[in-house]
Chain A
Amino acid sequence: MSVNNLLENWSQFRHFHPVDDKPHDPYKWAMSIDLDACTGCNACSVACYAENNLPVVGKEKYAHGQAMHWIRIERYWDEDDREFPDQGAQFLPMMCQQCEAAPCETVCPVAATNHTADGLNSQVYNRCIGSRYCSANCPYKVRYFNWYDYPSDDNVWPAEMNQQLNPDVTVRGKGVMEKCTFCVQRLHAAKGTARSEGRIVRDGEVQTACQQACPASAISFGNLVDPESRVHKQWQAQQVALDKDVQTKDKEEGGSELRGYRIFEELRPYPSVMYLERVRESAV
């Protein structure tokens, strides 16, 4: 296969999930985030530090862009040169979008990041060699690299702080890439419980740490292929389909009365996170 053939017929070769031989059955984890409820308070981010053993890197390393926040709140201003931001700011929680055709996966030289059957973009820490290609290729900039040995050299968790570490989550060492996992340790436990009871995980049975903390309940999370799940219903109501890159809303710009969209849809990573547009009152 020549490079020309590959580039010209990319869409034929590009592999994304679900594919016929590997359908999302019985799980496809997905999220929906209501930006009209999100207040930008950062509780999700701190909850993630608590759940996932994220190191606090300190001021100097933060300045170097080495913060490890798997979920961050992005804050945007209007760009209309008004003297004051009289419509407030725009907040957006940004984390790994668990893309179905993840740009990070195709560039990993050692297949350390790959797709799971339940639709997660997984990161295998002990396979990762730290090439950082995945991070370079991620359009959302949500992959975080361990530039230092945080547990030992940097002593990020001095005694007794180390006792808080979640035993269900690996403490990562120097030289590996990491990112949001949709709290895979919680998913794993819930799936195990369900399996031993001969059923699938019920909606609401498992929450991600960010979702659990969110004071405004802006984050929904669940199994997209379970017709009873809230996430499934939300995606359906907003007519956002996982495997399409043009949604109903995009076809009828401004006229659809729908709020659901995915970020950088046009790049065709097929993300698993749907956002609901922030609403602003027209009467004031």
Chain B
Amino acid sequence: MMNSGFDRRDFLKMLGWGGVAVALNGCGNTSVDDGKETVVSYVETNDYMIPSISTYFNSTCAQCDAGCNITGRIREGRVLKLDGNPDSAINRGKTCGLGQAGVQHHYNPDRVREPLLRKGGQGEAITWEKAYALIAEKLNGVSGEEIAFLTGGVSGHLKVLLGNYLDSFGCKNHFVYEAIAPAVLRAANKKSYGVEMPRFNINKAKVVLSFGADFLGAWVSPVHFSQQYAQFRKGVDGQRGVLIQVESKMTLTGANADRWVVVRPGTEGILALGIINALGIATGDIAAAVKGYDKARVSKETGVPPGQIDKIAALLKLRSPSLVLAGSAAEGYAHGSQNAAAINLLNQVLGNVGKTVEAAAVVPFPQMAPATGNTAALKTLNDGLNAGKYKVLFSYAANPVFTAPGAMKFKDSMAKAGFRVAFAHYLDETAMQADLVLPLDSALEDWGTQVPEYMAEGAQINIQQPLMEKLHANTRGMGDILLALIKLRHTEEYKKFDDYYAYLRTAVLQNKGALGGGVADDDTFWNETLSKGIIKPAGSSHVLSGNATAAGLSLPASAAIDAQYPLQLIPSVSASLRDGRHTNQPWLQESPDPLTTIVWDSWVEIHPKKAAELRIEEGDIVEVTGKNGSIKAQAYLFPGIHPDAISIPLGRGHEALGRYAKGYGVNPFQILDAVFDKETGELALHETRVKVSKTGQRFIVVKDEGVAGGMQMGRKIAVRVSSDKVRLSEEV
């Protein structure tokens, strides 16, 4: 099996176990020939399949990258509902609305069903053989540097196969792009704590001070954090946790805060330094660095009253441990890294590092670790495309034509690639620009492994398995496609794998020992693995290494008001629509935004005071104009926003994707300026300045909120009580 040109190390690398400290069993017990097995569909009735009785299979939610483990309910061969897997450390049996809608991704009527080749303005259905032959033809004679592979966040064996495929060309152009990932935070965390993504123990904190981290909505691992939040509210040692949220536009997390502190956009870091100053416990260079940030100055720059700063500092001093979080709102500026560093410094000063900020577990296989991305990668790709560097462009799990900032003009850049291949579930905006569209299996039809970026407890590898037979005969799994493509390059090495399933099974069994398989025989271990849906390898932990220093910290004063574009545009990320890839799932379109209760459309949030100044009323169609274009949407008067800012949610405004998405709302990505964080090169999402003008049109806003506009009119419906009036410790 192993000839001289292909040694054991290469073999392990092929299967994803390459890298440091791989604990592999002796090779003798396992045969790679096991890969010949074929997938047994759940539709073929097994003994345990009884009509009208549901069966349940574990898999992994693919609606976002948090990696929640799910259990699918299957009846008569159809998957009906997804719920959380109770044995998961991440979501413990729970799901969010986005996760629930996973079935609508699978059953979506607008999925691509055939490989499509561009013929003029139309897509012509072709066979897979023809598609593969076409790719081979286009790649013929093309060097590795002339190929670009764009993906969203990928991990697990898909990342391994993709890496191996790109290696076969000597191609280093794997661009990982996530439109709304916490990329600045990762870099700041790396500096402050020595790791990109430590573990945040909200449930162990007595006070959480969050600078725009929407951890109950769309930040990092919201289902996990929501459970921690519920424990935090019940209290540590009987003392209920206190949440203070600092931001310029109220997020779902802000709406749940004990104290919501509105701050002038971009001055989050200044406030953090002001709090350190007010605490008065910092020493050395930190004390020196915050010396100038006295209450009067900080209050003037941030707009937060001095009394408020005192109260926050006093509470943080009194109740320990606390936890300070830097979220996307603080990151989204040209000085985003500095903001995040200043906020992280608060954790150091308060002694939270090691208590509520802990080292996270790591999966000991670096090849499988999640490839996380950012807009900086997209910018590099965009520059390369403009320079005519790429002859072939592949795109998977990203929709840059929709999500790239308008100033980047990605659609035009993309046209400069010689041949464009999109792997797609839907004909989204990027697929519409492709020459070849390859239809993918849904996440509920496909095999895979996934490694979550945020590890809740121990290290875990998630298993994704089909919950039912494929709905459409001509869709393929991404793993199968990559395997087919790689076979065109390395026929000999990969011919033993009939399909991605065989590859995956071989890979997992190959490393049975390190994956907790012990002495179980292959079939038993494999079946157990599928049945649990989670592999818990003996993981190691990152070590937190960052030290508390204020070196290099410099925060600009809040920007002067631009007379032409006086308002700051805050593109908000909603828990259900995120970057817009799921907008064609009708449950999500009809699920009201928690704060405005608006459905099926975009809106412009504007503070009532500012609205009065501009004579804008609810439902007025306003034009929001920036340096890179304008969009029109309905105004919604919203008290939870800084008067010098407006907010438009991301995710809507599709020109393609499908019947439930196309034509609903507007896309604020389109008017974003290309301003980047100075340290990381990451897009500063909140740095676009705009002006708002009335168009004269007005519509009735479609929302769930009643005519009373969210007032209880003296009735006792949703009741609130002060914490000193209850005894939570005596409750059930």
Contact = CB atoms under 8 A, between A and B. Distances in A.
A42 B104 contact: no
A156 to B, nearest CB: 8
B669 to A, nearest CB: 22
A177 to B, nearest CB: 19
Contacts of A56: 586-587, 589-590
B226 to A, nearest CB: 4
A75 B255 CA distance: 10
A280 B592 contact: no
A20 interface: no
Given A42-B591, A50-B587, A283-B315, 14 more contacts: A43-B94, A49-B100, A50-B100, A73-B592, A84-B640, A88-B255, A89-B250, A217-B230, A257-B725, A275-B719, A279-B720, A280-B720, A281-B259, A281-B722
A257 B727 contact: yes
Interface stretch (B73-81, B114-122, B264-272, B457-465): B73-81
Interface in B476-522: none
A137 interface: no
Contact of A89 (B81, B83, B255, B716): B255
Q: Lowest 3 A-B CB distances belong to which pairs?
A: A215-B226, A46-B97, A59-B600
Interface string A54-78: 0011110011000101001111110
B252 A39 contact: yes
A85 interface: yes
Contact of B217 (A41, A51, A73, A279): A41
Interface in A253-276: 254, 257-259, 261, 263-264, 275-276
Most chain B C-beta atoms within 10 Å of own C-beta, residue among A40, A164, A283:
A283
Contacts of A63: 700, 702
A19 interface: no
Contacts of A259: 721, 726, 731
Contacts of B99: 43
Interface string B62-89: 0000000000000110111111100000
Nearest to A217: B230
B394 interface: no
A163 B107 contact: yes
Contacts of A161: 104, 107-109
A69 B219 CA distance: 26
B244 interface: yes
A43 B262 CA distance: 27
A166 interface: yes
A274 B576 CA distance: 28
Contact of A257 (B250, B591, B726): B726
Nearest to A68: B590
Given A41-B252, A85-B640, A62 B711 contact: no
Interface in B238-265: 240, 242, 244-245, 250, 252-262
A72 B312 contact: no
17 contacts: A40-B256, A43-B95, A43-B96, A46-B98, A47-B83, A57-B590, A59-B600, A72-B704, A73-B594, A75-B705, A87-B259, A92-B718, A163-B107, A230-B732, A237-B731, A258-B726, A280-B258
Question: Is the interface on chain A under 10, 10 to 19, 20 to 34, or 35 or more residues?
Answer: 35 or more
Interface string A235-253: 0111000000000000000
Interface of A: 35-37, 39-43, 45-47, 49-51, 56-59, 62-63, 67, 69, 72-77, 79, 83-92, 158-161, 163-167, 209, 212-218, 230, 233-234, 236-238, 254, 257-259, 261, 263-264, 275-284
A281 B253 CA distance: 15
Contacts of A284: 242, 244, 258-259, 311-312, 315
Contact of B716 (A85, A218, A254, A263): A263
A140 B26 CA distance: 66
A207 B252 CA distance: 26
Contacts of B240: 279, 281
Nearest to B586: A56
B80 A88 contact: no
B587 A49 contact: yes
Contacts of A84: 260, 262, 639-640
B223 A46 contact: no
Given A84-B262, A91-B255, A215-B222, A164 B103 contact: yes
Given A46-B587, A88-B256, A261-B719, A279 B76 contact: no
Given A75-B710, A77-B639, A86-B260, A164 B594 contact: no
B447 interface: no
B724 interface: yes
B601 A41 contact: no
A278 B223 CA distance: 20
Interface in B89-148: 91, 93-101, 103-104, 107-109
B590 A76 contact: no
Interface in B572-624: 575-576, 586-592, 594-595, 597, 599-601, 609
Most chain A C-beta atoms within 10 Å of own C-beta, residue among B52, B261, B594:
B594
A51 B103 CA distance: 11
Contacts of B82: 50
Contact of B227 (A50, A165, A217, A281): A217
A3 to B, nearest CB: 29
A36 B233 contact: yes
A63 B702 CA distance: 5
A279 B52 CA distance: 44
